Amino acid sequence: MRTSILARWPFTNGREEWSLPFMPMAVEHIDLSGYDVVISSSSTFAKGVIVSPGALHICYLHTPTRFLWEERVSYIDELPQPRAIKKILPYLLHRLRTWDRVAAERPDILLTNSTTSQRRIQRYYRRDASVLHPPVDLSEIPVSTTHQNYWITGGRLVGYKRFDLTVRAFAKMNMPLKIFGVGPEIHRLKRIAGPKTEFLGRISDAEKIALIGNAIGFIHPQIEDFGITAVEAMAAGKPVIAYGTGGAAETVIPGVTGLHLEAQSWEDIGDAVIRFDANRYDPRAIRTHAERFSKEQFQQQFRTFFNRVTS
């Protein structure tokens, strides 16, 4: 593994916001001149690498850069920076967005993780991308056929993931809920939480899998490009209550592996939980569906794609 020049700059080490103005330069300075084929994985800047003339650049583009397009305002609001610095950020982000649009033209071929991301790429970059669902490691996730009396949700606790809707719904119903993860929303979520909501903080993968395996089901209130944690829950045989937009529209099958919420609201979440009947769901059938998104499936499909475009 080789790091970029930013790793040697002490004032940017571990400080994403200070690195931003220099990220395009850092990416463009990566020397890829010795390669005939370059595969990049990008949700921000990696798509902008410069390859040799005649080299093939395949980019697995997870999404158009969120903080430059769909989430610019929330990104600025959530940064722990003084107001004076936040005032100049829109100018910086505008400059980065101009570069980002140019950089999106550099890959020869785009792959992406869902039809949701495919539509966003077309909207912001005016480029076509083929869908290849990302790999989910299911090897350490056992199927659970029992449950304890709680629901679970979690991930990075940021505004766009709308964990506030789940917290509010369970507070209104006074039902047990466990939330794993950390993030800038944690204090607001704790203020609106009911007495039966437990915040678990940062946990290991093994702890997460055990907690999901013992839950009634998983709540997925957000719009995600794909939603790997929801697939992990299904791999454990757990049904998922998900807002039926974004990646969950492709991964969660209503009546088989969970159900879709019609509206992104705490009322819809509460109604779905109250009406939920765990006996309607077969944990092993849910697991079988999740295996469509396994690491092995991804490797096979990517190998077939790679052989086709390089033959």
Which residues, 6+ apart, have CB-to-CB distance to 67 below 8 Å? 75, 93
Q: What is the pLDDT of residue 84?
A: 62
Q: What is the pLDDT of residue 72?
A: 58
163-209 pLDDT, tens digit per residue, is 999 999 999 999 999 999 999 899 999 999 999 999 999 999 999 99
Average confidence (pLDDT) over 21-50: 93
Q: What is the pLDDT of residue 76?
A: 56
Specify the domain boundaries for CATH 3.40.50.2000 within the chain.
Answer: 151-293
Q: What is the pLDDT of residue 86?
A: 62
Structure tokens at 154: 């979690």
What DSSP string describes 137-154? --TT--------S-EEEE
* pLDDT band for position 19 (cuts 50, 70, 90): confident
Structure tokens at 258: 């969970």
Average confidence (pLDDT) over 276-293: 96
205-264 pLDDT, tens digit per residue, is 999 999 999 999 999 999 999 999 999 999 999 999 999 999 999 999 999 999 999 999
Q: Specify the CATH architecture of the domain 151-293.
A: 3-Layer(aba) Sandwich (3.40)
How much is the pTM?
A: 0.85
Alpha-carbon dihedral angle through residues 227, 126, 38, 34, given to the nearest 10 degrees = -150
Q: What is the pLDDT of residue 74?
A: 61
Indicate the average pLDDT of the chain: 91
* pLDDT band for position 13 (cuts 50, 70, 90): low
What DSSP string describes 225-241? SS-HHHHHHHHTT--EE
* pLDDT band for position 8 (cuts 50, 70, 90): low
87-131 pLDDT, tens digit per residue, is 767 778 888 999 999 999 999 999 999 999 999 999 999 999 999
Q: What is the pLDDT of residue 37?
A: 97
- Cα 95 from Cα 212, distance rounded (Å): 42
